[in-house]
Chains A and B, each alone.
Chain A
């Protein structure tokens, strides 16, 4: 456990500058691959760890039951990607329908708290995607084919770096030069790039919301 806790402390320090400030418009990093589909939020953070009343500290239980044998922190599952020392970096890459299931935002908190800045997949569940965006964790949706290429590149060389450019909306496999554009809602992109959140915007709408409530049709 000792080694892991040091890594986690380090990652947490990075997290304090988590928002996509100008220097973060581009993420260049190696990636941790989990080549499975339908990874649900119960796997990302099991319900028994949702008892906290704060947003912090969920990273240590990220993928808890895949990470440790019999719930025992002294027994890391060696070939699970988070425990496998050949993988590192601020990017998580996973199979399609990532984040399905429960709406628990704790899943996004756990991924972010562990030290990831973006998740790459060919398909995200709706609620997870919103939760990720609301926590400045970038969900990067690529085609099935491109996802296959990323896995292939990482399998060949676990240190393969991916470049994610939010401003220009592309993701690139640096070793091969292959790249693909990704979609992101214009409004959300502005929020991410400037560190705004929806509450800031909604609060600025207070008068319009009150006017709306007075409408007889409502």
Chain B
């Protein structure tokens, strides 16, 4: 780990152009500054704005109150995901408040001329899954959404971050936000991943090392050979959880893997426009000599399959490790640590292996893409779930669901005793009826193990799809490597 303190962001801002070495972040940032206020934030231009039913209604109300239109409706894409049922989506939503919220989104999109991929639409799904899937997300863009996991889109070399509802209103009204330039951090992961270790383990490992607030105030670029070797979907999992260490955004420079993924997607540029875009996209990487306020180095081979034991995503350990002892925790951190373990019903100093699980949730914007489902299917094929475990597979989008059916993955799940539901955010945040009952343990591929996140008094272990699938079969937290064929 090394710090670089000589970097001066103010100076860089005023020196745009010329021969200086720029980071990926700076290249995109500078192209989107409309104006910088003296000693203050900048007016920052947003290329794409995703909206959903939960954090947009008050923003539209605000617009109406001010008598405003949506400034650039063609740059806004809407879907219903946070609050939708994941069974019987063809029927009207039973819960009244949820139904009203989804209807309000539909009405607002109609009134303000915004494209909506609502329930029943073949493109509907979790907002951070459909953006990349449709090719709406493209390298070099600035992207926002009223959802903290907007950092997902950074996997394409974009500046993408979550915003509050007042900011949703600002972007609807002006396509701009007031933004201060964050500090820059680069996290380099070098080397080869161990067997049974996937991208979710990389990000859980990083957060466990730098804590749930370790990147607050920073834009994080992930680099290094281990990152380069990942598929686009795996990269999205990493960028997705950048917010769990407080980062403003997470990003990865686009490369051949990115371009191959983009090519031919619904809204990706085509023909001449593609060539032009490619020429630009290829410039999107941190120059040699680019300066970072902080740079971390991680060896891929140090990473084991990860599991969390506490109530924030920084409270994670390798599967063969143990929960910290009380004397390993600083005095000021102790009250939170004790409260957290009490909530989880876990003793300090114990191992996580062998902890019984009641539910397995495979889904969310972190891990509900087709590769995640394939990874799970590949592992469970021919196996049966443990008797007392309930397993929910919630695909990230209608397209993921469709592909799962076309490729027969749904059959593998059925035979294993898993329930394939319909797309939505589901038990990641327990906003709809997909809640984990009080006191029960759920091993989850989602992104947050906060108290009550998956339902009041529900207890969450965060893990990779592979580790979650292994728990579904054995009924307890286990080391997936012991179950993998050599």
Contacts and interface: CB of A to CB of B under 8 A. Distances in A.
A48 B430 CA distance: 7
Given A104-B55, A127-B164, A198-B166, A65 B216 contact: no
A189 B174 CA distance: 22
Interface string A127-163: 1001100110000000010001000000000000000
Contacts, number: 191
**Candidate in B58, B82, B164, B177 with the most chain A CB atoms within 10 angstroms:** B164
A131 B165 CA distance: 8
B217 interface: yes
Contacts of B216: 97, 100, 123, 125-126
A209 B45 contact: yes
Interface string B51-78: 0001101100110001010000000000
Given A130-B163, A202-B176, A209-B34, A43 B451 contact: yes
Contacts of B217: 126
Interface stretch (B129-137, B333-341, B355-363): B333-341
Interface in A148-189: 148, 185-188
B369 interface: no
Contacts of B57: 53-54
B468 to A, nearest CB: 21
A130 B167 contact: yes
A205 B174 contact: yes
Contacts of A8: none
Interface stretch (B97-105, B195-203, B227-235, B399-407): B97-105
A97 B213 contact: yes
A105 B453 contact: no
Contact of A48 (B43, B173, B212, B431): B431
A37 B163 CA distance: 22
B312 interface: yes
Contacts of A123: 213, 216
Size bracket of the A interface: 35 or more
A95 B180 CA distance: 25
Given A187-B41, A198-B178, A199-B66, A103 B146 contact: yes
B165 A105 contact: yes
Nearest to A40: B450
A187 B169 CA distance: 19
B169 A65 contact: no
Interface in A174-218: 185-188, 197-199, 201-203, 205-206, 208-209, 212-213, 217-218
Given A65-B452, A105-B165, A203-B173, A47 B212 contact: no
Contacts of A218: 31-32, 45
Contacts of A134: 164, 166-167
B83 interface: yes
A102 B55 CA distance: 11
Contacts of A102: 147-148, 429, 448
Given A131-B164, A209-B174, A47 B104 contact: no
Contact of A199 (B55, B97, B169, B246): B169
Contacts of A186: 39-40
Interface string A102-134: 111110100000000000000101110011001
Contacts of A185: 40-41, 180
A36 B177 CA distance: 32
B170 interface: yes
Given A105-B165, A208-B35, A201 B54 contact: no
B448 A51 contact: no
Interface string B321-336: 0000000000011011
Contact of A101 (B174, B430, B450): B450
B248 interface: yes
Interface of B: 31-32, 34-35, 37, 39-41, 43, 45, 54-55, 57-58, 61-62, 66, 68, 82-83, 97-98, 100-101, 104, 146-148, 161-167, 169-170, 173-178, 180, 212-213, 216-217, 243, 246, 248, 312, 314, 332-333, 335-336, 339, 429-431, 438, 448, 450-453, 456-457
Interface of A: 35-38, 40, 42-43, 46-48, 50-55, 65, 70-71, 95-97, 100-106, 108, 123, 125-127, 130-131, 134-135, 144, 148, 185-188, 197-199, 201-203, 205-206, 208-209, 212-213, 217-218
Given A105-B55, A199-B62, 18 more contacts: A37-B335, A48-B430, A52-B97, A54-B58, A100-B312, A101-B243, A103-B55, A103-B163, A130-B167, A131-B164, A134-B164, A187-B37, A199-B166, A199-B170, A202-B178, A205-B43, A206-B174, A213-B175
9 contacts: A53-B104, A96-B213, A103-B147, A103-B162, A104-B55, A125-B246, A188-B40, A205-B176, A213-B175
